[in-house]
Structure 1
């Protein structure tokens, strides 16, 4: 009796494999088989899985892929309901909405602000419509604007009201260098009223009046007071350089009167008179340094009015001002006791030993003294210099009455 060792199995259904198709028997390649499923079997399988055959579904028309009512940027105020957009449930399958790629996107894909535009154009419009500077604080804008020259600041003031206010902020006009410039009537006064602290106007040409009566910026009542001399304009200038300026004495007085907090003033090579020196003494009482070298018109009365009203003066330069003996006597009688630097070079034979002795006696804080080009000064001043004890710098150039043996 023969035993059958093969297990009994149910009869296999007919395989859907088509044996006529070639089978890959190459050992170097993975085995592959081609499956040909009948349409009836395929439909049964899809029904069991609960899916539909994509090949049997026709693609929706192009007009349904991008309905106009969905391309419009809807807002909460639009009177379009969701049912109107998608349709009723019994109207058939909901059309599939797809987003076109950037390469196939046209200029009419979107309606933005009532007009057709592309995504790129809409993005650019949104960027251009946003003012980046409006998001910055005033302090940050001032830090940016301070790197611009004064001419560019004037151009920035024409952008808008905010930029006008920032461009003329006092922080941006603290130091001004306007050397070798020409100022017509009213121009310099407009600049000085912007709040600068240090102003350099060397070799500049200034026409009068310095401050114009502009009715656009001042009330009519205030302009009348300025015209009648009942009210003066004051600025914040503390350091002023007017060296070698082409300016009249009346214009000098107008500028100095507007600078009461003046601390350092240079009028080198300018034409001055008694009125200018008196104005400096009366209006700039906090003056600490004054440079009058090579000035013409320095006389005794003007010197007295200057020194009497400036007790805080620590530096005085009177080099080559052609001081006579009477003016030097007025200087020694009214010289400030806090003086630390004094330049009297170029006085010639008018400067004598007794004048130097009086200056050293009245100015115990004097540290620097220049009496060059004074041939009348002799070796007698050395005893006063030794007794003074605080002199750190002494200039005796071209003092021919001194013998070199006294300097050893």
Structure 2
């Protein structure tokens, strides 16, 4: 294996190593010199090469360990405990040969895993759900110490799980900065259990996201009351679809001394004009994000006052708020000139002319969602290509008047586009072909569900867009086979899988 040299002296290019991408949890260790603790014995040419940096060695070790723990093959175990020296001829195999001291035959293989450095264990543990970490902590003293490492609990997330008071106590005790609970069940949690959680992490919690959870233990009004009582450092609050009402917002506002919210997300909550405006007045100086998707009790006059109170809003979601009218959108256009993302899903008052005026005022817009807006046509896509050439995300799904002409305009004018949703539009093969040729540098997500596209052009998109990660083809009559897609793009996630 030939090791290249750089202008600053010999240094190994990590890209030529036969390693896979490791978990994000390893990043903080890879970027910090001195973090690679040696094994009892290194016996590998790569690890003894002075031109290989410590971070590169650690990345190689982490990848080997992850493969080993995943496959659990006898061959890997034998290599891991082999006492024979490794040679550079083994590099292409993708397996790392590490020499451990001889151990008695009666000693479990797991004892060898315990010899791995803490950095490797922490990187592997960072890939586990937080519910599994609490179980892993009960295995032995070392895993108990490692599973409780603060780096693993900075951002806590649980999806589709059943919460218990014991788990909440465990998680709160690790002082997380961010907590996200999505579609979790809380039927076994009493109000006192949730209060214990907030009391334990009150000094550290900055972001709370509780979305679509069921059970009285995570009801939005209870959450808002306890947040106002305990969480004085909170900046980002999301209680979407939690059943929150004015009865929850009122105590949050009353106990908001010292609280400065930057993001408020109340999607699907039953809040009224008065409660929302009181909240906005309290946090107007710090607020940059407001989402009230589906809050059908809000009026257009309320939103107009919101624009006056917070002209510096950067992210706004007023989709599916049925009382929004043309006057409200016109006021938004004239007052909110710092917006980076806007969601107007399902609003009947949206029109091409109104959007053109808005895009003139917000040339720095990064994300625009116009799903199911009947007044949107190719004219809006032409305006987007001329007014906001640096836009990254565009959703026009359900806009029947959008055709290949509009897609072509966006593809030619918005070369940095990363996400495009054309589902249920009149876009077809001509627009898809131009998209594949002109936006192939950054495009990562394309949704073409219920569009009339051919297998040939779908494969062309996959072949040209090397960064493509997600492709939606629901309801498409012609879908390439999985084998055909994998031949031109090995990692794109196609839904539904052909």
Q: Calculate the TM-score normalised by the size of structure 2.
A: 0.44
Structure 2 counterparts to residues 251-266 of structure 1, below 5 A:
251-253=222-224, 256-257=227-228, 258-266=230-238
The residue that corresponds to 1:319 in the other structure is: 293
Q: Does the Cα contact within 8 Å between 2:209 and 2:237 map onto a contact in 1?
A: yes
Deviations 1:228-276 (A, max 9, x none): xxx8861533343311111323431255344444344332222112243
Equivalent residue for 2:328? Answer: 355
How far the C-alpha of 1:166 sits from its partner, in A, is: 4.0
Partner of 2:290, secondary structure, is strand
194 and 333 in structure 1: CA distance in 2 versus 1, 3 angstrom threshold: same
Cα offset, 1:303, TM superposition? 0.8
Are 1:211 and 2:193 matched, yes or no?
yes
Contact 1:304 1:331 survives alignment (8 Å): yes
More helix by share: 2
Aligned residues: 267
Matches of 1:386 and 1:144, distance apart in 2: 45
Query: Partners in 2 of 1:319 and 1:302 — Cα distance?
Result: 16
Which residue in the other structure is 2:205 paired with?
Answer: 237
Which of 1 and 2 has greater Rg?
A: 1
Following the alignment from structure 2 to structure 1, what is the Cα–Cα distance between the partners of residues 372 and 120? 57
Counterpart secondary structure, 2:182: coil
**Residue number in structure 1 paired with 2:239:** 267
Q: 2:283 aligned with 1:301, yes or no?
A: no
Classify 1:386/1:147 alpha carbon distance in 2 versus 1 (closer, same or farther; 3 Å).
closer
The SS at the match of 1:319 is coil
Residues 236 and 283 (structure 1), Cα distance of their counterparts in 2 relative to 1, 3 Å cut: farther
Following the alignment from structure 1 to structure 2, what is the Cα–Cα distance between the partners of residues 189 and 275? 26
Matched, 1:168 2:148: yes
Report what 1:83 is aligned to.
none
- Cα deviation, residue 351, structure 1: 1.7
CA shift in 2, pair 1:213/1:372, >3 Å: closer
In 1, the alpha carbon distance for the partners of 2:378 and 2:128 equals 56
Q: Is the 8 A contact 1:365 1:390 kept in 2?
A: no
Q: Which residue of 2 aligns with 1:80?
A: none
- Structure 2: any 5+ residue segments left out of the alignment? 1-102, 383-498
* 1:193 and 2:193 matched: no
Secondary structure of 2:202's aligned partner: coil
Please state whether the residue corresponding to 2:211 is helix, strand or coil: coil
RMSD over equivalenced CA pairs, Å = 4.3
Structure 1: tracts of 5 or more residues without a match: 1-122, 215-225
